[in-house]
Every structure is written in C-alpha cells, then in structure tokens.
Amino acid sequence: MPLRIIQGSSRELEDADINVIIDVIRAFTVAHYAFIGGVRGIMLAGTVAEAFRLKERYPSHLLAGEIQGLPIPGFELDNSPARLQRFDLNGKYLIQKTTNGVAAALNALNADHVFVTGFTNAKTTAEFIKRNFMKGEDVKVQLIASHPSGDDDLACAEYMAGILQGEGGISSDRTIERIRGSEAAAKFYDAGKPEFLEEDITLCAREYATGFVMKVSNERQAPVVQKVPAGT
C-alpha cells in the first residue's frame, strides 16, 4: 500500500485515493467533540472573510476557529474543545476557520476520499479506512500532519500509519507522550497565557471511540465535514 506522511498545511499534494488531514491541537479535536455534542455538519472556510460570507448566507450557523491560536472577533466559538462543551450544539452547523487544520484540508481535496481527525478519533479513522478500502488493492493514502513543524500531528500520523500498515507504527501511549510534550502543547501549560487551557491538552491527548469518522464532502458553497458511522 503506497502511504506517505506529509507535514504542513500549504503543501501541494499529489492526487491520491485517500487523504487524511490531522490536526490534534486543536481543530479536528474540536470537530470530533462538536459532532459528539450533536453538530450536524461543519463547513470549512479558508479565510475569515469567507467565514463571514458563509455566516451571512447561513445566519443560524456558528462561527468557530482561531488565528494563531487566539479567538477571532465576531466568532461565537474559539478553537478550544473544553470551552466548546459549554455550548448547546445539538442540531447546529459550524463554520470553521483555523490556521493549520482547515487550511490543510482545503489543500487536500484532490482525493477520492478525504477524512479529518485529531488523536481522539485517529484509531477509529485508521481502522475504518483499513477495513473499507485496504482489500488487496494498490490504494494510495496520504496522511497530512497539518502543523508545519509540530510533533503532535506527526506523532498521530505515525500512529495511524502503523495501524494501516499493520506494523512499524508507534504505540498509543508514546503518541500521547509526544502530543503532551510537543511545542504546540507548551503554551497550554503556561500560567501566564490563560487564554490557552491545560484542559484542552487533556481532551486532545486521549482516545475516544465514538463509532464514527469525519469525512469531507466538496459541496457547492464550501467543503463540509460530515459524520459517517464507522461501521459502514
């Protein structure tokens, strides 16, 4: 099985059968918890201006995201999985704009199947892909660690690669160690930066089997992340 791990959100990608975009801290961890909370779909916006244009078209949708980790003025939600859980999201749609994860997803639409994940849903996603697409065929898979230098996304990609290939990956415990010890996580332990919650890292660095994967469909207005049962 041809499998590549690619790091960075702005890379030009070769065509592939499957692209998996990984953002552990925090975009697609937020997306996972949003679906757990009852969100029906997540529209992906490449810029703040595009997010606001989508909001004008769909005023009931909630804006969620960050710029360099910080909240965006005028957005209802930031990029914190801990703060997200304070909101009633049942039946809602989100419009998400983030620095790395969303940007990487928008640059990775040139595949037959596109999935997004954080570590929380990485095992479920890898097992779903292996079960449904790896049946002796020469399937080309690209795992995109969206942070250009972050070890959190890279560790998650290596963990998923081991599941997909059946060998050569790293353990779940080692992946968690690398997420917690990554440069991206450091500011969440800094008491001088109260905008970054240590609880976010706790939520990002756990496996949470919830029985679904997050697949991107390229809709007319914007790409949309949708919840797909992992048993199919």
By C-alpha distance, which of 98, 100, 137 is closest to 6? 100
As a whole number, mean pLDDT of residues 71-92 equals 97
Per-residue pLDDT at 232: 61
pLDDT of residue 219: 83
pLDDT at 2 over 90: no
Q: What is the pLDDT of residues 159-168, one digit of tens each?
A: 999 999 988 7
Of residues 9 and 72, more confidence is placed in 72
State the average pLDDT over residues 171-182. 98
Mean pLDDT (whole number) for 6-34:
94
Query: Which has the minimum average pLDDT: 6-20, 30-44, 67-81, 96-110?
Result: 6-20
Task: Please tell me the distance from the alpha carbon of residue 96 to that of residue 75, in angstroms, as a whole number.
Answer: 10
pLDDT at 49: 98
| SS3 label, residue 185 | helix
Lowest mean pLDDT among 49-53, 81-85, 218-222: 218-222
Largest CA distance in the chain: 52
Listed in order, strand segments (DSSP E) in the chain are 3-7, 16-22, 41-44, 62-65, 93-97, 111-117, 141-145, 212-218, 223-229
In the chain, what are the domains?
3-229 (3.90.1560.10)
Query: pLDDT, tens digit, for every residue of 205-231?
Result: 999 999 999 999 988 789 999 999 998
> Does residue 122 carry a pLDDT above 80?
yes
The mean per-residue pLDDT over the stretch 42-65 comes to 98
Contact 174, 148 (CB under 8 A): no
Answer for the pair 96, 65: CB distance below 8 angstroms, yes or no: yes
